[in-house]
Amino acid sequence: MDYEVSRKVWESQVPVQFTLQSGGTLGDPLPYYTMLPRFTYLALALPKALTSFNRREDGETIHVEKVWLEANGKPLKMYIPIGVINDQANLLETDSILEISVKTSTAPPKFQMVDRDMMEAMFMQNIKEADYLKTKAEVTQSMMKDELPQLWRSVVNNNFDEFWGINRKLMETNNEFSHVPLRIYYKDEPFKQALLTIKHTDGSLRTIGESIAEILRLSPPTSSESSTPTSESSSSSSDATPSGERRLISHGIDIPSHTPLIFAAKNLSYPDNFVHIVISV
């Protein structure tokens, strides 16, 4: 583990503005502003915003299960870390506040409210899935019963030392990773995921740029359905776009495309052990 990189990544934050749009008879209260860690989730931040909105005595009480969230005119996916949501929203600008609208009208079909308990379950499931890609789930199966919930609690409480006290087992395994957990966010499509080994057949380390190119080749961008093909055979196709024009955004910065994949997996992962990269064309 590269402590310096991991620490800076953990301490990255995002400015967020929550604006209530309920259309009440007395008008809407003022927006709620806060700085949120990048690794946290909206399921943990939304209750605080609603508490601020409900502090006004003459207003109608807003319940968390009766609202839905919107950003840039699109419903939000509450199971994605806030850092990733911010990277998607600020593709053209580097310095802007993430604006989230809290609406009380009927939620659109695409929106799915995720509460705290659901988020905890999804978080732990992601860790198990990542470990399966890396070690065939050997580490998570050998962990004690309370260690996974402890990972979640350290994320909720923003406790770096407690988190890495357990996450170290998942990152420093006896053998090399079989595959690397990597998710690509391209435009407005669901994330893309493929089986990627650390090294090429010739023994050289695989880079981020190469991985992304391969994923995009396997999953054409025009496809409307997300799939995770398991085929490792790489067809020699020459339709790849020039890597010089593509920006790989993660944790709010552009990741160099020649970064080894193993380094990114160990130091640039989110707490759910996945490397989330937003592609900007």
Taking CB under 8 A as the rule, does residue 95 contact other proteins? yes
Q: In what order do the strands lie in the sheet with 275-280?
A: 182-186, 275-280, 247-250, 253-254
- Residues recorded for the chain: 281
CB of 35 to other proteins, least distance (A): 5
Task: Count CB-CB contacts under 10 A for residue 37.
Answer: 19
DSSP, collapsed to helix, strand or coil, labels residue 275 as strand
Q: Count CB-CB contacts under 10 A for residue 110.
A: 10
CA distance 98 to 252: 12
Smallest gap from residue 121 Cβ to other proteins (A): 31
Stretch that binds other proteins, among 6-14, 66-74, 162-170, 269-277 (CB under 8 A): 6-14
Instruction: Name the residue with tokens 């310095």.
Output: 95
Per CB under 8 A, the segment of 33-41, 58-66, 106-114, 148-156 that binds other proteins is: 33-41
Query: SS3 letters for 67-135?
Result: CEEEECCEECCCCCCHHHHHHHHCCCCCCCCEEEEEECCCCCCCCCCCCHHHHHHHHHHHHHHHHHHHH
- Closer CB to other proteins, 150 or 280, in the complex: 280
Strand-pair partners of 15: 35
In the complex, minimum distance from the CB of residue 130 to other proteins, in angstroms, rounded to a whole number: 21
Of 2-10, 121-129, 177-185, 224-232, the window that binds other proteins (rule: CB under 8 A) is: 2-10
Identity of the residue, 95 or 239, whose beta carbon is nearer to other proteins in the bound complex: 95
Cβ closer to other proteins: 95 or 117? 95
What mask, x for binding other proteins by CB under 8 A, covers residues 182 to 221? Answer: ----------------------xx----------------
The correct pick among 1, 55, 223, 232 for binding other proteins (CB under 8 A) is 55
Determine whether 84 is exposed, middle or buried from the number of CB atoms within 10 Å of its CB (0-12, 13-18, 19+): buried
For the bound state, the minimum distance from the C-beta of residue 157 to other proteins, rounded and expressed in Å, comes to: 18
State how far the Cα of 140 lies from the Cα of 142, in Å rounded to an integer. Answer: 5
Pick out residues in 238-277 that bind other proteins (CB under 8 A): 251-256, 258-260, 263, 268
Which residues bind to other proteins, rule: CB under 8 A?
Answer: 2, 4-5, 8-9, 12-13, 15, 33-35, 52, 55, 94-95, 97, 204-205, 251-256, 258-260, 263, 268
